[in-house]
Chain A
């Protein structure tokens, strides 16, 4: 099998079984790319994770594009990314078509009256985990407080808040970058 196609197949498998997205798929990628196919070594893989989580976008897509590009250039990146996205795409289309058909059924509406508050809880919990795992302490506590003030009182756009926070990070944490080299294992 040609390499880009093989990569597409590997990332399709990974995409199809990554429930919850994000870091859930790291062990799967590692198993396929590092352990089974020996395409990239362990150390390089860890570096790639660190980098993939420092750029915008979903981890799954970033890792697919990164691994694909490393191994087979632009065609590799394209095929890997398409592979990673395709399972979600197909599943969601099927689910959406079905959901849009049944969403007005009373039973479905009642079920979703229970689901919506639970989703809120899931999101809140992810925030708690985010705070715990990413040293939001010391100076860094000022950032969410200021961000809240900016959103509520100045009606700032989320993108502006993110840009300002990035600037604040650069200013606050000058000279602290060495100690933060551990972010690979987050």
Chain B
């Protein structure tokens, strides 16, 4: 029970500071779940993001469900998800109750003009950490390059990128094995 509560609090913290949408929560989850608590390692974290990205729904929620399930089954998933959703829920209720006109949110808007550029830095830093700890080097460096080209030039869907990358991962390692066997 204590662990479940700890799990919920961790995702509560993550949910409360997930600002800027999309991958903005990646650095926070990384800091809390991977580095602080050591519940999952860096490699597994990237696996989870790949899966979270390929399923419908917000990445923050998907990651919470997956991590909770991995650590404590369905109960863990429920507590982690509750933790991730609760801050948004409470804040929205408060905002919806007191919100009078769009002008009132100008202070929030200004704060966000500072937050968004900082989130950029946070995400970049966590990408650097991921690259380091996942030993992306040699041939594997081709994959992020090709993926970038696929997204920018061909406008490929993220899920298609993940499927193509899976195939190249298998092909690459098959080639490597053949090399060793020769």
Contact = CB atoms under 8 A, between A and B. Distances in A.
A120 interface: yes
Interface string A140-176: 1101110110011000011101101111111011101
A61 B69 contact: no
Contacts of A167: 111, 114
Contact of A125 (B50, B99, B114, B152): B152
19 contacts: A54-B105, A54-B108, A54-B109, A54-B112, A56-B15, A56-B88, A57-B89, A66-B95, A111-B169, A113-B169, A114-B165, A115-B166, A119-B165, A121-B144, A122-B147, A144-B118, A167-B114, A170-B107, A178-B106
B38 interface: no
A56 B120 contact: no
A166 B114 contact: yes
Contact of B56 (A15, A115, A124, A159): A15
A69 B115 CA distance: 27
Contacts of A169: 110-115
A1 interface: no
Chain A interface secondary structure, helix, strand, loop or mixed?
helix
Interface of A: 15-23, 47, 50-62, 65-66, 69-70, 74, 77, 81, 85, 87-89, 91-93, 95-97, 99-100, 103, 107, 110-127, 130-131, 134-136, 140-141, 143-145, 147-148, 151-152, 157-159, 161-162, 164-170, 172-174, 176-178, 180-181, 183
Interface string B58-75: 111110011001100010
B81 A125 contact: no
A185 to B, nearest CB: 14
A57 B88 contact: yes
B51 A96 contact: yes
B34 interface: no
Contact of A151 (B13, B23, B125, B174): B125
B69 A93 contact: yes
Interface in B135-182: 136, 140-141, 143-145, 147-148, 151-152, 158-159, 161-162, 164-174
Contacts of A130: 20, 22, 116, 119-120, 123
B171 to A, nearest CB: 8
Q: Please name the 7 residue pairs, one residue from A and one from B, whose CB atoms are nearest each other, closest first.
A: A114-B169, A169-B114, A57-B88, A88-B57, A165-B118, A118-B165, A58-B58
